[in-house]
Structure 1
Amino acid sequence: MTAVYIDADACPVKDEAERVITRHKIKMYMVCNGGLRPSQNPYVENIIVPDGPDVADMWIAERAGVGDVVVTGDIPLAARCVEAGARVIKHNGEALTQANIGNVLATRDLMTDLRAADPFRQGGGKGFTKADRSRFLEALEREIRAASRLK
């Protein structure tokens, strides 16, 4: 059975994901270090992991596989899940696949190096928009359907 794993600590689309999984009647695991209000939805299981670097990521990566969908903005986690055969999407609906994860990882590493070389470099990502939310909903629907054909 397909499951959805949400890297929930900084996820802006938890409510949208919950609506989609409820419609499909599939299990969703919201994994975080705490601070989330538990959902009363029977399809949602909140997983609280201990504090520590990448503990939530490790929990997801150890479980997600073929026929599952992972929602994360964490590129190293995404790479591990793609390698395990899971379908991965970012919060803005961008799919991370075998075909693009190498380039996405390389860009992430390059940007990390650039920020380390210039600690005064300002800036951040662009804001999360309604269009991003809409793309996410479409992408999650598409990925759940594709993943369920694999299980």
Structure 2
Amino acid sequence: MTIWVDADACPVAVKEILFKAAERTGVILTLIANQSIRVPPAANISSVQVSSGFDVADNEIVRRAASGDLVITSDIPLAAEVIDKGALALSPRGELFGAENIRSILNMRDFMDTMRSSGVHSSGAAPFGAQDKQAFANQLDRYLSRLRS
């Protein structure tokens, strides 16, 4: 089991939580981005730099992800693709995406995208805060606990 991170837009606080969890549990953690990402010197933590371009990092995550893996991303289409491969996805705000909910979330995302393109303005996502960090840490702990049992 590997945790893959869509690292280009992942908040620093989430990366720090992931580093600590990987060091504590020994789970393999790989960050993928189109820029260089510094990671702690641990055998189970690595980063992969891909070329820049639209969805290059996403495509690399989809290529590498396997059934049972966890992907950290706020990109709903990416989450849907890895779920189709049998993985789970977790947003940096602590929302767990799986086969039972990803289609409705993807439909809502597409609906909101259509609304924005027709001129309807939305307030957008709230800034990442302490509650988001805690929700992510709690959901990650639940996931890692299930692996150990």
Give the structure-2-normalised TM-score: 0.91
Shift in CA distance, 98/122, structure 1 to aligned 2, threshold 3 Å: closer
Partner of 2:119: 118
Q: Cα offset for 1:97?
A: 1.0
Partner of 1:4: 3
The worse-fitting range, judged by mean Cα deviation, of 122-131 and 59-68 is: 122-131
**Cα RMSD, aligned residues only:** 1.6
Q: Cα offset for 1:94?
A: 0.7
Q: Cα offset for 1:40?
A: 2.3
The worse-fitting range, judged by mean Cα deviation, of 69-78 and 137-146 is: 137-146
Structure 2 unaligned blocks of 5 or more: none
Counterpart secondary structure, 2:52: coil
Counterpart secondary structure, 1:40: coil
Structure 1 unaligned blocks of 5 or more: none
Partner of 1:143: 143
Instruction: State the distance in 1 between where 2:32 and 2:125 align.
Output: 23
Instruction: State the distance in 2 between where 1:84 and 1:146 align.
Output: 20
Partner of 1:97: 98
Q: Quick one: percent identity of the two aligned structures?
A: 32
Q: Cα offset for 1:144?
A: 2.8
Give the structure-1-normalised TM-score: 0.90
Partner of 1:134: 134
Deviations 1:2-54 (A, max 9, x none): 11000000101111111111111011110000043343233211100011111
Q: Does 1:86 pair with 2:87?
A: yes
Deviations 1:96-131 (A, max 9, x none): 011110110001101111111117x36321111211
Instruction: State the distance in 2 between where 1:131 and 1:9 align.
Output: 21
Give the aligned residue type for 2:56: V
Instruction: State the distance in 1 between where 2:62 and 2:26 align.
Output: 23
Instruction: State the distance in 2 between where 1:10 and 1:42 align.
Output: 24
Instruction: State the distance in 2 between where 1:35 and 1:106 align.
Output: 33
Higher relative contact order (CA 8 A, sep 6+): 1
8 Å CA contact retained: 2:19, 2:40:
no
Shift in CA distance, 77/71, structure 1 to aligned 2, threshold 3 Å: same
Counterpart secondary structure, 1:41: coil
